[in-house]
Amino acid sequence: MKTKILFIILILFLVTITPAESQCAMCRAVLESEEGGQAAKGINNGIVYLMIFPYLLVGAVGYAIYRSRKKARAKKTN
């Protein structure tokens, strides 16, 4: 069981460090007109960081449900 959890954490870590270009159409149009592209890189990084929090929240809720069900099963068998 611990190896499964470690594997999932490793996969999530690898997915989050993979470079991603994630701009909406309007943001892309505004940022492409700029020279250098530093603002575009900043916007992309901000989008990636903002996407981490929903996954963390869903993971925390899933873990809490898992832990409460595991406790209930252990209580039921005793």
User: Cα–Cα distance between 32 and 56 in angstroms, integer?
Assistant: 31
| Residue 33 tokens, joined | 């007109």
User: Cα–Cα distance between 53 and 47 in angstroms, integer?
Assistant: 11
* pLDDT band, residue 19 (cuts 50/70/90): low
Q: Please give the model's pTM, rounded to 2 decimal places.
A: 0.50
Residues composing the chain: 78
* pLDDT band, residue 22 (cuts 50/70/90): low
- The ranges assigned to domains in the chain are 22-77
| Residue 67 tokens, joined | 């832990």
User: Cα–Cα distance between 78 and 32 in angstroms, integer?
Assistant: 64
Q: Over range 28-34, report the average pLDDT.
A: 72
User: Cα–Cα distance between 19 and 12 in angstroms, integer?
Assistant: 13
